[in-house]
Amino acid sequence: MLSKHPEMCRFPHGHTRQVDVVVSSEKLDANDMVLDFKALKLAVQDHIESYDHRMAINANDPLLEQIKAVHPDSLVVFPVDPTTEVMAKEIFDFISKTLQIGFEGVSSNGISYVIAPGSVTLERVRVSETPSSWAEYGK
């Protein structure tokens, strides 16, 4: 819900979003990769999935408390209108911080994955709300 939007986007509505992440490195790792995509997925999966089946809403939306009373676990509250641009920046900031501090995790089949701190640079994040509408945020 975009409380400041003059038309239909101010009402509850949904999108099937896609998140694309572009990373770079000065050199390839021991496996001849910039980054194992499985490691990146493990590192950010919970954060990205926190958007799934949730309503993104502005903290100042007049309906926030009413919606929260009915569906308290269904909201992702933003300090501003949750535009695709705002989501792209928020996801960019989260992934960038994760790559700076590094990550160690284990996949569901017991394989360990590591992202060394600062070994990869996040270039940009693209969040698509439709196949022809997206926003990118990056360096």
CATH number, residue 95: 3.30.479.10
User: Is a pLDDT exceeding 80 seen at residue 14?
Assistant: no
Higher per-residue pLDDT: 3 or 80: 80
Give the dihedral sign, CA 107/113/115/120.
Answer: negative
Q: Which domain holds residue 68?
A: 8-138
Give pLDDT, residue 1.
73
The whole-model pTM stands at 0.89
The answer to whether residues 116 and 102 touch, using CB atoms and an 8 Å cutoff, is yes
The CA distance from 30 to 22, in Å, is 20
How high is the pLDDT of residue 3?
78
Tell me the pLDDT band of 110, cut-offs 50, 70 and 90.
very high
Give a yes or no: residue 3 inside a domain: no
Q: Kindly state whether residue 95 falls inside one of the protein's structural domains.
A: yes
- Which residues on adjacent β-strands are paired with residue 137? 125
What's the pLDDT band for 53 if we cut at 50, 70, 90? confident
**8 contact partners, CB below 8 Å, separation of at least 6:** none
Q: Rounded mean pLDDT of 41-50? A: 96
The structural domain count of the chain equals 1
Asked which of 3-12, 56-65, 88-97, 105-114 is least confident by mean pLDDT, the reply is 3-12
Residue 11 has pLDDT above 80, yes or no: no
